[in-house]
């Protein structure tokens, strides 16, 4: 039976539940973007006076912990037992401490003004904040998979999350440059604004937990340890294929943000026109994928997205200096962005459902944690590859983009789009080995929903 049958007719997520979940996820992301997206480094180096080399050391030390805390927390949350469920306790009660750490990040602790004191405060802040962020954000990330089984019910959540994610990405980029205190300035106004943001975020995240609940859950095996759990994830062939796509999406999102910094200075396409085409493509993509996911299936939609996006990226890598090609390229990138935000989470949900079919357990947290373990290096690789390719083309970092040679400017396009095109082709090819499609998979999905249906009544 396909999703046009039993699953689609019976399963529905209330609008209020979706709104509260997406609002909590949005504000959780906003706090993280404000702090880790450059705000923390700026505040400690430019405002408080921490030596940049010491700040860099903080991030290096933190990177070690950051690589392992996601699967660790995923394992812990999967094995949590409470009346509220496995995820909601971390969201509800973690939100207070998450907001408090955020608020006190922007206040100098009574440790003195020495470099050692500032180093310790920045390191402690980053460790505390990210640990709480991991607990809350991971729980929010997997919540749609515990609220519904069918892709139609889940897709309604992910569509709403796309628009809320634009807020969590855009607001920090606009807000922080406006309110940040300049060196030597009084930062009281800045601290009040940050405190207000923290308080509002705590209130929304805390209250949200009363409006959604976990419907799909199972008891974990008591003898399963974290190492076996990680290994078992990679024994799931569908997860391995999904990781190829997930890694590529994070890489592409990172390198796309890098490329625009150089692109508009090197070529003549107006920024507003480019972003207009990007936005139009994203809207078109959301509508397209939402309409075609059920009749075509997730696998086919992802394949089409990869092929089209790869073709667009390849054209941009060679001919992106021409305005017409660039306009089309930005539109296709928008379609691909929508696919990354909409289709990839649906695919992830199918992978988790298949794992339950194989072993009888729901391990959303473990899969989310291992996914982060694999995809976080994509950010570093994206930064490294972009700079390396620019260097190969003779791009001189000491000169402005406008003063670079034509060959160096071509290097911007190649560094920006060539690797994404290659990765997308690999993603399309890897889908040959992705088993979650067709009549047999539809029947498995129906059986899983029937198994959990009594929990909605």
Domain boundaries, the chain: 1-217, 225-451
Residue 10 above 50 pLDDT?
yes
Q: How far apart are CA 343 and CA 64, in angstroms?
A: 30
Residue 246 above 50 pLDDT?
yes
Please name the residues in contact with 36: beta carbons below 8 A apart, sequence gap of 6 or more.
126, 129, 130
Q: How far apart are CA 447 and CA 323, in angstroms?
A: 51
- Mean pLDDT score, 175-192: 86
Distance of CA 165 to the CA centre of its chain: 9
Query: What are the φ and ψ backbone dihedral angles of 119, each rounded to 5 degrees?
Result: -60, -45
**pLDDT tier at 8 (50, 70, 90 boundaries)?**
very low
Specify the range with the lowest mean pLDDT, choosing from 267-271, 331-335, 438-442: 267-271
- In percent, the amount of the chain with pLDDT more than 90 equals 37
**pLDDT tier at 445 (50, 70, 90 boundaries)?**
confident
Higher pLDDT: 122 or 399? It is 122
In the CATH hierarchy, which fold is given to the domain comprising 225-451? Growth Hormone; Chain: A; (1.20.1250)
Contact 453, 15 (CB under 8 A): no
- Mean pLDDT score, 266-282: 84
Contact 217, 146 (CB under 8 A): yes
**200-216: per-residue pLDDT in tens?**
999 999 999 999 988 76
Q: Which pLDDT belongs to residue 74?
A: 82
Q: How far apart are CA 393 and CA 391, in angstroms?
A: 5
Contact 389, 184 (CB under 8 A): no
Higher pLDDT: 419 or 156? It is 419
Q: Which pLDDT belongs to residue 218?
A: 60
Please name the residues in contact with 451: beta carbons below 8 A apart, sequence gap of 6 or more.
none
Q: Which pLDDT belongs to residue 380?
A: 67
Q: Which two tokens stand for residue 211?
A: 């409006």
Q: How far apart are CA 56 and CA 274, in angstroms?
A: 34
Q: Which pLDDT belongs to residue 219?
A: 59
Residue 6 above 50 pLDDT?
no
* Residues 98-117: b if buried by 16+ CB within 10 A, e if exposed: bbbbbbbbbebeeeeeeeeb
Residue 87 above 80 pLDDT?
yes
Query: Which of the residue ranges 41-55, 253-267, 277-291 has the most confident prediction, judged by mean pLDDT?
Result: 277-291
- Mean pLDDT score, 411-432: 94
Residue 376 above 70 pLDDT?
yes
Q: Which pLDDT belongs to residue 182?
A: 83
Q: Which two tokens stand for residue 331?
A: 């539109």
Q: How far apart are CA 95 and CA 210, in angstroms?
A: 13
Residue 224 above 70 pLDDT?
no
C-beta neighbour count of 210 within 10 angstroms: 10
Query: What are the φ and ψ backbone dihedral angles of 396, each rounded to 5 degrees?
Result: -100, 110
Q: What is the CATH number of domain 1-217?
A: 1.20.1250.20
Q: Which pLDDT belongs to residue 173?
A: 66
Q: Is 437 left (phi over 0), alpha (psi -120 to 50) or beta?
A: beta
Q: Which pLDDT belongs to residue 23?
A: 96
Q: How far apart are CA 441 and CA 147, in angstroms?
A: 20
Q: Which pLDDT belongs to residue 421?
A: 96
Q: How far apart are CA 342 and CA 156, in angstroms?
A: 10
Q: How far apart are CA 86 and CA 89, in angstroms?
A: 7
Q: Which pLDDT belongs to residue 436?
A: 92
Q: Which pLDDT belongs to residue 185?
A: 86
Q: What is the DSSP letter of 182?
A: P
Contact 342, 283 (CB under 8 A): no
**pLDDT tier at 222 (50, 70, 90 boundaries)?**
low
Q: Which helix (H) or strand (E) holds 384?
A: helix 364-392
Residue 7 above 50 pLDDT?
no
Residue 3 above 50 pLDDT?
no
Least Cα distance to 24 among 68, 86, 77, 90 occurs for: 90
Residue 253 above 50 pLDDT?
yes
Q: Which pLDDT belongs to residue 220?
A: 58
Residue 338 above 90 pLDDT?
no
Q: Is the dihedral of CA 356, 360, 364, 365 positive or negative?
A: negative
Q: Which pLDDT belongs to residue 388?
A: 84
Average pLDDT value for the chain = 85
Contact 136, 90 (CB under 8 A): yes
Q: Which pLDDT belongs to residue 199?
A: 97
Q: Which pLDDT belongs to residue 397?
A: 67
Q: Do 1-217 and 225-451 come out as alike in CATH topology?
A: yes
Higher pLDDT: 62 or 339? It is 339
**113-164: per-residue pLDDT in tens?**
799 999 999 999 989 998 999 899 889 988 888 888 787 888 888 888 888 8
SS3 322: coil
Residue 400 above 80 pLDDT?
no
Residue found under tokens 């040959």: 432
Radius of gyration of the chain (CA): 23
Crossing angle for the helix pair 237-266 and 271-296, to the nearest 10 degrees: 160
C-beta neighbour count of 312 within 10 angstroms: 26
């Amino acid at each position: 039976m396909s999703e046009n049958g039993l699953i689609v007719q019976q399963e529905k997520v209330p609008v209020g539940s979706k709104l509260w979940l997406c609002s909590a996820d949005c504000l959780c992301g906003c706090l993280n973007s404000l702090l880790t997206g450059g705000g923390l480094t700026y505040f400690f180096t430019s405002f408080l006076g921490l030596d940049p080399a010491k700040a860099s050391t903080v991030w290096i030390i933190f990177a070690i912990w950051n690589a392992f805390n996601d699967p660790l927390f995923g394992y812990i949350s999967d094995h949590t037992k409470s009346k509220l469920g496995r995820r909601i306790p971390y969201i509800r009660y973690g939100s207070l401490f998450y907001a408090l750490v955020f608020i006190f990040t922007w206040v100098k602790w009574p440790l003195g003004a020495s470099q050692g004191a500032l180093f310790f405060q920045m390191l402690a802040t980053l460790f505390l904040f990210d640990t709480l962020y991991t607990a809350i954000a991971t729980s929010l990330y997997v919540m749609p998979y515990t609220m519904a089984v069918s892709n139609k019910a889940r897709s309604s959540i992910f569509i709403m999350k796309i628009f809320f994610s634009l807020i969590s990405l855009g607001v920090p980029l606009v807000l922080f440059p406006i309110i940040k205190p300049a060196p030597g300035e009084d930062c009281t106004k800045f601290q009040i604004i940050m405190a207000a943001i923290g308080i509002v975020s705590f209130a929304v995240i805390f209250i949200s937990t009363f409006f959604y609940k976990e419907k799909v859950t199972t008891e974990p095996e008591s003898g399963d340890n974290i190492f076996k759990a990680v290994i078992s994830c990679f024994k799931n062939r569908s997860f391995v294929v999904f990781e190829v796509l997930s890694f590529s999406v994070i890489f592409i999102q990172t390198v796309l943000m890098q490329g625009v910094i150089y692109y508009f200075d090197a070529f003549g396409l107006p920024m507003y026109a480019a972003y207009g085409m990007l936005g139009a493509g994203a809207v078109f993509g959301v509508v397209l994928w939402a309409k075609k996911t059920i009749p075509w299936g997730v696998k086919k939609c992802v394949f089409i997205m990869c092929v089209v996006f790869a073709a667009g990226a390849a054209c941009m890598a060679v001919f992106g200096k021409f305005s017409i090609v660039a306009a089309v390229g930005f539109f296709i990138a928008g379609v691909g962005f929508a696919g990354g935000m909409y289709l990839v989470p649906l695919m992830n949900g199918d992978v988790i459902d298949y794992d339950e079919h194989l072993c009888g357990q729901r391990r959303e947290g473990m899969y989310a944690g291992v996914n982060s373990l694999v995809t976080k290096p994509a950010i570093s690789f994206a930064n490294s590859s972009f700079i390396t390719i620019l260097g190969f083309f003779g791009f001189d970092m000491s000169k402005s983009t406008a003063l670079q040679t034509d060959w160096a400017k071509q290097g911007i396009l190649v560094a920006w789009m060539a690797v994404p095109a290659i990765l997308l082709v690999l993603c399309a090819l890897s889908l040959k080995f992705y088993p979650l499609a067709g009549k047999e998979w539809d029947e498995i999905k129906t059986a899983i929903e029937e198994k959990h249906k009594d929990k909605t009544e």
